Amino acid sequence: MQLTSTNNSIGLIYALKRIFNQNISKFLISIMKIITGMHRSGTSLVSCLMYKSGLDFGNPKDFYRPDKFNPRGYYENKKISIANKKLLEGIWGRLSYFKLPNKKTILKRYKNNAEYYTLLQNQFKNKWVKDPRFCFTIDFWPKEIEKLIIIIRHPSEIAKSLRRRNHITINYGLKLWRIHMVNLLKSTKNFKKIFISYENIIEKNYQNQELNKLLEAMSDQERTNVNLASLKNILSSSLPQKKLDNNHNDFILSQNIKCFKTWKFIQKNYL
């Protein structure tokens, strides 16, 4: 009788332990640090500065490799990118960008894999992650964000870059830019955000202003071996060799009145 009672107790303990292990992730809330913005906006450049300054972006073996469109590297973790693609692409893959899912569809996909996202969030606790797809998925995950850096670039430059890479028209590139930015700003209206201008980072007269914002985004521990001079040194070896034509960019943008108005709003309120 005593043996049977002991066995039952042991069995109960193991059962409770198994239930605990299966569900503990649902109660763990970890904090991530996010860098995002429209595709081709300069998120890779900013992530490069942070990563080369010693900040934790997870295992670099999980980064996407450099390619001809981004020879200096993406600094984008495949695990994060794949997680966001699951929410956005569904069965259509990249074609989903021609008809992006609504929030109801994204929420359904998230709920169907909620434990997966919680576990992934715990895996990247206190780490920096970069993915432009957070423009649409930040409403759903991660549940806690410690820092949020949003990169802003002239929409005409983004549209021209998308035309080279994805072979889409300038006008459709501008449309995609507006959809991304409007959604991101609405989704994060109650978040504390740090806005970084790509144009200011690559213009020497305004570099200090933007780099100081990055320093402010870092924790005291992260700033231990980082200063303005070290960031500028990294930047000097990472900058694209390109001269901007702001007048032409403004002319291109003026052809799309909705994008033009959105850009002026962003300039006025965030830059």
Q: Is the pLDDT at 133 greater than 70, yes or no?
A: yes
| Cβ neighbour number for residue 210 with a 10 Å cutoff | 22
| Cβ neighbour number for residue 261 with a 10 Å cutoff | 12
Given a contact cutoff of 8 angstroms between Cβ atoms, the answer to whether 188 and 136 are in contact is no
Given a contact cutoff of 8 angstroms between Cβ atoms, the answer to whether 133 and 42 are in contact is no
Residue 124 tokens read as 């990247």
Given a contact cutoff of 8 angstroms between Cβ atoms, the answer to whether 116 and 83 are in contact is yes
Mean pLDDT across the stretch 209-225?
Answer: 95
Quote the pLDDT of residue 87: 96
| Cβ neighbour number for residue 146 with a 10 Å cutoff | 17
Q: Tell me the backbone φ, ψ of residue 32, rounded to 5 degrees.
A: -115, 160
| Per-residue model confidence as pLDDT tens digits over 25-39 | 444 456 899 999 999
| Per-residue model confidence as pLDDT tens digits over 175-198 | 999 999 999 999 999 999 999 999
Q: Is the pLDDT at 155 greater than 50, yes or no?
A: yes
| Per-residue model confidence as pLDDT tens digits over 101-125 | 999 999 999 999 999 999 999 999 9
Mean pLDDT across the stretch 202-212?
Answer: 93
| Cβ neighbour number for residue 151 with a 10 Å cutoff | 23
Quote the pLDDT of residue 9: 53
Q: Which residues pair with 33 in a beta bridge?
A: 128, 147
Q: Kindly report the average pLDDT of the chain as a whole number.
A: 88
**Residue % of the chain over a pLDDT of 70:** 87
Look at the alpha carbons of 187, 189, 195, 197 in this order and tell me if their dihedral is positive or negative: positive
Given a contact cutoff of 8 angstroms between Cβ atoms, the answer to whether 145 and 127 are in contact is no
Given a contact cutoff of 8 angstroms between Cβ atoms, the answer to whether 48 and 55 are in contact is no
Those residues whose C-beta lies under 8 Å from the C-beta of residue 216, and which sit 6 or more positions away, are 194
> For residue 263, with 0-12 CB atoms within 10 Å meaning exposed, 13-18 middle and 19 or more buried, which class applies?
buried
Mean pLDDT across the stretch 212-218?
Answer: 96
